Amino acid sequence: DTEVTQTPKHLVMGMTNKKSLKCEQHMGHRAMYWYKQKAKKPPELMFVYSYEKLSINESVPSRFSPECPNSSLLNLHLHALQPEDSALYLCASSQFPGTGGGSYNEQFFGPGTRLTVL
């Protein structure tokens, strides 16, 4: 299994809703990432989990709350979002988050969840 899966594919939510995005990989990767991508812009890193611990939070507003229940799963809990949070949310994983070279640093991306906040 060499893919990262994300659910749902599309999500429409109101500003008062609470929803969660899910990401799963079974490649034994120990680093998982959340990115946000607006149209015609590059992905922007939001969070990095390293060995199931949050290692990087790119000053993301608290209305986004990540969770890593185990080494295969990564969630992003959403609450009280704003319309400007509408974007494609990408999950990625890599074998190791550390300083190793070679293909270990390759990030595999999921297909993304397209989020619309009304």
Partner 1 sequence: GQNIDQPTEMTATEGAIVQINCTYQTSGFNGLFWYQQHAGEAPTFLSYNVLDGLEEKGRFSSFLSRSKGYSYLLLKELQMKDSASYLCAVRGRDGGFKTIFGAGTRLFVKA
Nearer to partner 1, 23 or 81 (CB): 23
Whose Cβ is closer to partner 1: residue 48's or residue 81's? Answer: 48
Q: Does 42 bind partner 1 (CB under 8 A)?
A: yes
Among 13, 27, 56, 80, binds partner 1 (CB under 8 A): 56
Smaller CB distance to partner 1: residue 16 or 39?
39
- Measuring CA to CA, how many Å separate 105 from each of 21, 25, 93, 100? 24, 16, 9, 7
String marking each residue 57-96 x if it binds partner 1 according to CB under 8 A: -x-------------------------------x------
CA nearest neighbour of 84 among 66, 111, 64: 64
Interface residues toward partner 1, by CB under 8 A? 41-45, 48, 50, 55-56, 58, 90, 97-99, 101-103, 105-112
